[in-house]
């Protein structure tokens, strides 16, 4: 019970620091003192530190408090959940690759009509991780990993909603209309006829990279959390910095949409 509780508390620390630093009044004060780049640096350091602590703890205690999931014993269900995790992680990778084009991208914050992946979901990064985490939670072999994946699911959903509220406050009606015409969960806006898919605009290369990365990780799945989670911490840190850097480079270019 103790390991699961500590995992939950570390999740609250990681998620709570995100929320606190994103509160408009606090964000404004930090930006006023350190500038936009300074705020991003502080935000990133806090995020990396708390995320590293969480992942390292989970990696060290992932076999504690074992629990058997009934779904693991049903081959068709297990296969479906594994496939769902591949879809979710592929969407996440695609979201990272197209991140600079999204209205919530750091240094961008400009609303344009939904194109490409945004027609499926306005939050490919968050919704992809949420789907991946949900499927993993149902297959979790221990209480620690179950709590970790449930925390990931909750953080992803709350993170997307919090980002929407913040951008509505910052960008006003254009972003409110963007939210109304899109959805957090993939295909919901399409099913409810608020959005249509232009298949020619879809980032097929990004989807392909996502699927390739998912299948590659599947083959080394048992070693992902080796070395105290160092591989995960390094990969997420590098990916985050590359996405922010790419966003800043694009933001400095003349206003021409790709």
Q: Is 177 helix (H, G, I), strand (E, B) or coil?
A: helix
Q: Once rounded to an integer, what is the mean pLDDT over residues 61-77?
A: 79
Q: Once rounded to an integer, what is the mean pLDDT over residues 178-206?
A: 95
> Tens digit of pLDDT for each residue in 126-166?
999 999 999 999 988 888 999 999 999 999 999 899 889 98
User: What pLDDT, on the 0 to 100 scale, is given for residue 110?
Assistant: 72
Max Cα-Cα span within the chain: 56
**Those residues with Cβ within 8 angstroms of residue 257's Cβ, 6 or more apart along the chain or in another chain:** 101, 112, 115
pLDDT beyond 50 at 258: no
Q: Is 109 helix (H, G, I), strand (E, B) or coil?
A: coil
DSSP state of 73: G
Q: pLDDT grade, residue 248 (50/70/90)?
A: low
Distance CA(1)–CA(6), nearest Å, equals: 9
Which position has the higher pLDDT, 221 or 252? 221
Closest to 155 measured CA to CA, from 182, 123, 119: 123
Q: Once rounded to an integer, what is the mean pLDDT over residues 39-45?
A: 88
Lowest mean pLDDT among 14-18, 36-40, 53-57, 114-118: 36-40
CB 103 within 8 A of CB 182: no
Q: pLDDT grade, residue 253 (50/70/90)?
A: low
**Those residues with Cβ within 8 angstroms of residue 67's Cβ, 6 or more apart along the chain or in another chain:** 140, 141, 142, 143, 146
Q: pLDDT grade, residue 204 (50/70/90)?
A: very high
What's the token pair of residue 235?
Answer: 């990969």
**What rounded mean pLDDT belongs to the chain?**
87
pLDDT beyond 60 at 168: yes
* Neighbour-count burial of 8, counting CB atoms closer than 10 A to its CB (0-12 exposed, 13-18 middle, 19+ buried): middle
pLDDT beyond 50 at 257: no
* Angle between helical axes of 75-98 and 124-138 (0-180°, round to 10): 160
| 229 alpha-carbon distance from chain centroid | 18
User: What pLDDT, on the 0 to 100 scale, is given for residue 212?
Assistant: 94
Q: Where are the domains of the chain?
A: 2-251
What's the token pair of residue 43?
Answer: 């935000």
pLDDT beyond 70 at 19: yes
* Angle between helical axes of 143-171 and 173-181 (0-180°, round to 10): 130
| 118 alpha-carbon distance from chain centroid | 15
> Tens digit of pLDDT for each residue in 110-133?
788 888 999 999 999 999 999 999
Please report the beta strands in the chain, taking only residues with DSSP state E, as ranges in sequence order: none
Cβ-based neighbour number of residue 76 at 10 Å: 7
CB 10 within 8 A of CB 54: yes
Q: Kindly state the percentage of the chain with pLDDT values over 70.
A: 90
Distance CA(118)–CA(212), nearest Å, equals: 21
């Amino acid at each position: 019970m103790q390991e699961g509780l500590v995992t939950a508390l570390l999740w609250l620390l990681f998620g709570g620091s995100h929320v606190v630093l994103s509160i408009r009044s606090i964000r404004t004060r930090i930006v006023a003192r350190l500038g936009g780049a300074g705020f991003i640096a502080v935000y990133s350091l806090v995020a990396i530190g708390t995320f590293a602590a969480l992942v390292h703890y989970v990696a060290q205690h992932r076999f504690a408090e074992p629990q058997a999931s009934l779904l693991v014993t049903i081959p068709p269900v297990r296969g479906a959940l594994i496939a769902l995790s591949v879809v979710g992680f592929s969407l996440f990778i695609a979201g990272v690759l197209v991140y600079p084009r999204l209205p919530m991208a750091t240094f961008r914050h400009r609303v344009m009509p939904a194109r490409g992946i945004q027609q499926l979901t306005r939050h490919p990064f968050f919704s992809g991780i949420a789907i991946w985490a949900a499927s993993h939670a149902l297959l979790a072999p221990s209480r620690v990993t179950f709590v970790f994946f449930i925390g990931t699911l909750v953080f992803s959903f709350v993170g997307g909603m919090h980002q929407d509220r913040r951008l509505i406050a910052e960008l006003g009606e254009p972003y409110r209309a963007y939210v109304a015409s899109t959805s957090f969960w993939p295909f919901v806006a399409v099913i409810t006829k608020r959005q249509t898919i232009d298949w020619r605009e879809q980032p097929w290369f990004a989807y392909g990279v996502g699927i390739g990365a998912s299948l590659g990780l599947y083959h080394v799945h048992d070693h992902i959390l080796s070395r105290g989670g160092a591989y995960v911490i390094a990969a997420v840190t590098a990916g985050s910095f590359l996405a922010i850097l790419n966003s800043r480079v694009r933001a400095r270019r003349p206003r021409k949409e790709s």
